[in-house]
Structures are given as C-alpha cells and as structure tokens.
Amino acid sequence: MIKICYVIGQLGKGGAEKQLYEIVKGINKNNFEPVIISLSRGGYWSKEIKKLNIHVIELRRKKHIELTRLFKLIKLVRKIKPAIVHTYLFSANSYGRIAAILDRVPIIIASERNLPKLSRDKNIYQISIDKLLMSFSDGVICNSYKCSEILVRKYLFDENKVFTVSNGINSKEYLKKANWGTQKKLAQKVIGTVGRLTPQKNHKLLLDVAKIILDHYGERDIKFMIVGDGVLRNKLEQYSKNLGIQNSVVFTGERNDVSYLLYNMDIFIMTSLYEGMSNALMEAMLTGLPIVTTNVGGNSELIIEGETGVLCPLNDAKAFADKIISFIDNETQAKQIGDNAKQRIIKELGVEKMIKRIENIYTKFLEKLCIQKTF
C-alpha cells in the first residue's frame, strides 16, 4: 500500500478543495492510502472528507506565515512516512514541499490551480519560491494546458516536470442530486454566475453587462443572480444601486445548493480576469446552460466557440451583452449550445479520467524509484 500525504492550505469551499475531495474519494484504495494535512482548521470539505473515513489532520493557523506550523508539519510528515507528498495551493506548495524535502520523502509533487502571472495572483517572491522548490520536486500538476504552457515558456520550468490533468466532475452524482428547476423562477429569464466576490471574478463588469441588457429590454422580466460571497460584496451591491439596477440583481451569498440554483438559470455568465480550470463553469455546462465567458486560461479548453458556449474579450461589456441578447432572442440556439456543453462534460471531463491520469503520474514516479507495490 502506497501512502500519499496531501497537504493543502485550507479545506473551505473552493475549487481546488473540491477536486482534492474527488481524488481521495475515487483513488484506488487497494493501491493508495491517502492522508490529508490542512494548514488551517475547519472548512466544508474537511467534514465531507472525514465522512469517507480518510484521516484529516488540521493545524491551527495564527498568522499567514509562521514557523511553528512548518515545524509541526515536518514532524507530522516524518511520522506519517509517505512515499508521496502532493501539495495544493501556494502556502501548502511551500510549507509542504519544504517539509517533504527535509524529511526526504521519495516523491514530491506540487499543484498549480491557476495561471501564475506575476503581479496578478503571484508576486516575484512567490514565483522565486516556486522555482527554487521545483528544483527539489519531481513534478507539478496543472489543471489546464494554458497554465502548463506559462510555467514552461514564461518561467522556464523543466517541461519534463510539468504535467496537465484537467479538472474532473462526477457527472452521475451531480445529475442525481440536482434539483431540476422545481422552484418558481426569479424571472422569465435568469442570467447567473457562481464565484467568490473577489477582484479575480470581475463582477463589476457583470453589473455593467446587466445594465446594458436591462436597458435594451426595458420592462421585460429579466433578473441577474450572483451566487457567492466575498470581500467585495458591499461594494458590488452599492455599485448595482449606483447603476439603478438593484431590483433586478439578486446577491444570494454563499450557498450549499448551487446545483439547485443553476437549474433555475437560463444563461451562465463568467467575467473572470483569469482562471485555471473553473469548477463553476464545468457545473454550469453539466447543467445544460449556454455559457458566455471571458477568453482566459482554461476557459478556452472547456468552451468550443459557438458549439458549447461563446468566448468574449476581457472587460468588453458590450461583447458580453450582445452574446447574451443573442441567446435570449434565440432560445433554440441557446438550448442546443447548452445541450452540447452538457454532453462534452459527460463524455470528456468525468472525474474517473482525472483520477486515472493522476494515478498514472504517481505510478510513473514509483516505478522509476522501484518502490515495491501491488497494482
């Protein structure tokens, strides 16, 4: 049995955390024994992972950077004695790999879940730490080809150490649990999005788009649903008031019934400035919604232009509005594109394929080191 120690910054309601849950849930337990160390306590996915009878160790977090937590992590990894340490998100990629290096773990793998662009989601210090620790790592798994390309082309990572494994979604489980629009809809047409209310998601642009569409249709019964919470909520609510559209925009806050809300939307919009491989976008596609999103990161790997959705330039409110108006005015086209999107997720982006690809990466390194195992 090969023991894998996953190290992650926290287990709150995020995309990387959900993907880790799917991996440890579906990984072949005859071959691999997963253990999770979270660098923070609590979180939605912590409870869900524990229900799988997988050992979760949670460290107390006092400050953003603290040596005490690193020392505890080093002791834990030494005690667990894993054959593989696989880290998620920047803090864990740093703390986890340092611990693994000092404890001489045979295989060390990091993850890159977004597009690592300088001065946007990472600073020069963080990029430098990543490059230094990569010298002592066996590989890094990216969730989009665009992310892998940036690491190799822009930051000169060894291409033999960079792997791409697209996110996966459990289609059968999602469709089984989803509510098929039993709630009375907010409006005749509901245009919605799901995501944290942070600068990355660029919700201000979404509100500008809403203003254009509402002005275009006048009295038509159209609502915009923004699912999620975050530091910008108050500013965004105030901006909707400044635009005079507050009565047509619903801020739901963080919800545990996202699939239920998706099935009550007609069109899905995502205005992000950057993305890796968006879980929210994949769930919207699986719901059968026509997608209008920015042409950034892994979005273009999910959306086939004009077939499973449409892509728009960054910060172009008019382009977004025109595409959404086209879907509203042509329901047959919108339904066909939504159906195409759903079938693409089911056929090509199942969680089973993601897990198998990750297992193959583990196996490749294990065989290289001649670590004995039974497969």
The predicted pLDDT at position 116 comes to 60
Average pLDDT, rounded, for the chain: 92
Neighbour tally for 143: CB within 10 Å: 28
**370 Cβ neighbours under 8 A, 6+ residues apart:** none
Percent of the chain residues past pLDDT 70, beyond the cut: 94
Place of tokens 């926290």: 10
Q: Can you give the pTM of this predicted structure?
A: 0.89
Confidence grade of residue 128 (pLDDT, cut at 50, 70, 90): confident
- Min mean pLDDT across 75-89, 140-154, 175-189, 301-315 is at 175-189
Q: Can you tell me the mean pLDDT for 193-213?
A: 97
pLDDT the model gives residue 375: 44
> What pLDDT is recorded for position 374?
45
Q: Which tens digit of pLDDT belongs to each residue from 137-175?
A: 999 999 999 999 988 998 889 999 999 999 999 998 888
Cβ 276 vs Cβ 114: under 8 Å: yes
pLDDT band at 349 (very low <50, low <70, confident <90, very high): very high
> With contact defined as beta carbons under 8 Å apart, do 197 and 233 qualify?
yes
> Residues 185-196: pLDDT tens digits?
788 999 999 999
- 323-336, pLDDT tens digit by residue? 999 999 999 999 99
Alpha-carbon distance of 292 to 319, in angstroms, equals 10
Residue 215: per-residue pLDDT: 97
User: Cβ contacts of residue 314 below 8 Å, gap of 6+?
Assistant: 273, 294, 295, 296
Q: Identify the pLDDT of residue 373.
A: 45
Residue 127 confidence class, pLDDT cut points 50, 70, 90? confident
